[in-house]
Amino acid sequence: MVGTKKKSPHPQEPLSVESWCKAALNLIIREGVQAVSVEPMTRELGVTKGSFYWHFENRDALIHETLKRWETDQTRDLFARFGSIDDPYARLRILMFAAFEDIENGLFFAALSSSSEDPRVQPFLQRVSEQRLEYVTASFQALNLEPDEARRKALFAYANYVGYFHLLRAIPDRVKAVSDLSAYVHYLADSLVPSPDELAKRPKRR
């Protein structure tokens, strides 16, 4: 008997918003924001366009949702992971090591920075960068540093973070071949974060 094709008893369900955003994040890391497109993503994920349009009106909506979730995660993560560390010296050093060890987030930030003039990207990139700088600056000020010195150190630390991941994204083999990441971060932290002994010698700010 010539049979007709049986329908699957378990029809494919649309991917969740979280799954789509994770796929978009990974694509942005690899190829940049401009690579986010409905058809290539549905082929890669093995789903239909209907699965995409179940959640999003268009690709800009997916990009917006991905960046919104990223910004929320950055805000939550910053205060949840480091806010309970009362000692600013320990907080700064732990924060620096954690930031450089989070390769995925660093590469995602570098990819976004490459599209910093894109109006879909710019507001998220600016808010996250400003928040990070404010948090690191406040931590330096908690060490009894003058506000100007705290701002300079925070900016220098952040510039090193941004530069490292831009290079890692652009020339990964060269960076991995010559960079001992732990030693790099140790050097950066030792250069920027005054030790308790050094701090003890400084006059107290009024």
Number of structural domains found in the chain: 1
Q: What is the pLDDT of residues 73-118, one digit of tens each?
A: 988 888 888 988 999 999 999 999 999 999 999 999 999 999 999 9
Amino acid 197: pLDDT: 73
Structural domain containing residue 197: 67-201
Q: How far is CA 1 from CA 4, 5, 6, in A?
A: 9, 12, 14
- The answer to whether residue 48 sits within a structural domain is no
- The answer to whether residue 26 sits within a structural domain is no
- The answer to whether residue 21 sits within a structural domain is no
- The answer to whether residue 73 sits within a structural domain is yes
Q: What is the CATH number of the domain that holds 79?
A: 1.10.357
Q: What is the pLDDT of residues 155-205, one digit of tens each?
A: 999 999 999 999 999 999 999 887 788 999 999 999 999 887 777 677 666
3-state secondary structure the chain: CCCCCCCCCCCCCCCCHHHHHHHHHHHHHHHCHHHCCHHHHHHHHCCCHHHHHCCCCCHHHHHHHHHHHHHHHHHHHHHHHHCCCCCHHHHHHHHHHHHHHCHHHHHHHHHHHCCCCCCCCHHHHHHHHHHHHHHHHHHHHCCCCCHHHHHHHHHHHHHHHHHHHHHHHHCHHHHHHHCCHHHHHHHHHHHHCCCHHHHHHCCCCC
Q: What is the pLDDT of residues 33-76, one digit of tens each?
A: 999 999 989 988 989 898 899 999 999 999 999 999 999 998 88
- The answer to whether residue 119 sits within a structural domain is yes
pTM (predicted TM-score): 0.85
pLDDT above 90 coverage of the chain, percent: 70
- The answer to whether residue 38 sits within a structural domain is no
- The answer to whether residue 189 sits within a structural domain is yes
- The answer to whether residue 33 sits within a structural domain is no
Amino acid 24: pLDDT: 96
